[in-house]
Amino acid sequence: MRHPLLNLCVCLAALAGAASPAFANKDIVQFGSSIRIEPNTTVHDTVCFFCSVDDRGEVDGDMVVFFGNTHITGIAHHDVVNFFGTVTVDDNATVGHDLVSMFGSVRFGQNASVGRDFVAMFGDVRQSSDVSIGGDRVVQPPWLFWGPLLILGLVIFLVVREYRNYRRRFFFRGSPYPPR
């Protein structure tokens, strides 16, 4: 008698044993602990969850930050992506390719540059007149997201409130008024 579950477990164990470990050369990945890249230091990719990245040196790869801030004083040669945080590009700092910010603010210093595209969705952008953006610039203001969401929440609140009032009136319809 064959046991299909046993065969599946043996196959999964063989695949797990044959898996090779991941190799990350000069990559930094943190969860809850901030990343600080010192001057004259080069790293490849940085990924940060619930923490911040302070780039004072060079990042050859991409920078990705979730729920934290990104501060670029040096050079980021590729993409910079930030969700729910602030991106600060200091004076004379460079982002080589794209800069994307979702639900956060972006602040550019004097003579800051973005090599390709700049996208800021539902956040605040502050920049001086001498910021250089090599490709497209897409900025969606926060009210475009929060406005319809607020209206939808208000409609749901009013519908629930009116339904509760209807149910309360329906309940008290059978009782004598004023109560004895």
**Residue 84 pLDDT > 90, yes or no?**
yes
pLDDT at 169: 84
**DSSP code, position 142:** T
Q: Are strands 125-126 and 106-108 parallel, antiparallel or unpaired?
A: parallel
The token duo for 174 is 């059978």
Cβ contacts of 22 within 8 Å, gap of 6 or more: none
**Residue 28 pLDDT > 90, yes or no?**
no
pLDDT at 128: 84
- Residue 85 CA to residue 101 CA, distance in Å, equals 8
Please state the rounded mean pLDDT for residues 160-170.
90
> How would residue 11 be classed by pLDDT, with cut points 50, 70 and 90?
confident
Parse the chain into domains and list their residue ranges.
24-142
pLDDT at 150: 93
pLDDT at 119: 92
Please state the rounded mean pLDDT for residues 79-98.
92
Please state the rounded mean pLDDT for residues 121-142.
87
> How would residue 180 be classed by pLDDT, with cut points 50, 70 and 90?
low
Please state the rounded mean pLDDT for residues 65-89.
92
**Residue 143 to residues 56, 82, 103, 112: CA-CA distances in angstroms?**
33, 19, 11, 27
pLDDT at 23: 54
CA 42 from centroid of its chain's CA atoms: 24
pLDDT at 53: 92
CA 40 from centroid of its chain's CA atoms: 28
The token duo for 126 is 């502050």
Adjacency order of strands within the sheet including 58-59: 42-43, 58-59, 75-76, 94-95, 113-114, 132-133
For residues 46 and 28, the answer to whether their CB atoms sit within 8 Å is: yes
pLDDT at 22: 52
For residues 122 and 144, the answer to whether their CB atoms sit within 8 Å is: yes
Tens-place pLDDT, residues 89-129: 999 888 989 999 999 999 999 989 998 999 999 888 998 88
Higher local confidence (pLDDT), 24 or 100: 100
Q: Which of 14-28, 36-50, 67-81 has the lowest mean pLDDT?
A: 14-28
DSSP codes of every residue in 145-168? HHHHHHHHHHHHHHHHHHHHHHHH
